[in-house]
Structure 1
């Protein structure tokens, strides 16, 4: 008798759990449709978080060399130029960081050493065989993509 009573309670519990999960998923899909354009823009701004600073001129030669170095590297495995992939888009990186010597050197070191938590939970693997000069050229190209 007790076994049957436990079986009934278990079935009722499962039904209640299923109904609550279903109603939660229905409610969450409705809230997604009610997101306004300004809220979406705010989330994009939070994602990029621009840093104030002066932009220096990057030579055309450095930009071209950096572009070639990136094309022969593994950068495009995790990054795309215009859209977010596993890592941030190159244009988003350019929007965040000022194109000056300090940030170029800092980002070049991040490319060489690797890092995480700058753009969410994605981890950038280290590139220890890359020279500091080549990494700076690559970062110069990325930062030249400012709109």
Structure 2
């Protein structure tokens, strides 16, 4: 199984199949964690620590985001628990086989299926987005 490790910038910027993408702005529901917990995502179980945000999309899918990263990726709306994603450029690579991402804590792992997209957000963070979801929340910039 192919493995990618978060924490390094631009891990596949020289890969010809990588494409520049922009996230389409969307509204999400957010709660901030008061005590450590585990969040079950479609790609695996991820820890959330006090102060982290747990983001919930309109589809019901959830994922935790460290507060410092959350503040760069989301902005508040007039509703207390609703935030809007901030459009930003990322690199995306569709992976043809099973793969995993080791997150910045060096322990937590996300698991991708064939056809899922690996996202490099350009700040050392990586993500996995299913092909079905990718088509609705990202647009190609190149």
Which structure's CA Rg is the greater one? Answer: 1
**TM-score when normalising by structure 1:** 0.27
Write 1 or 2 for the structure with the bigger share of strand: 2
Write 1 or 2 for the structure with the bigger share of helix: 1
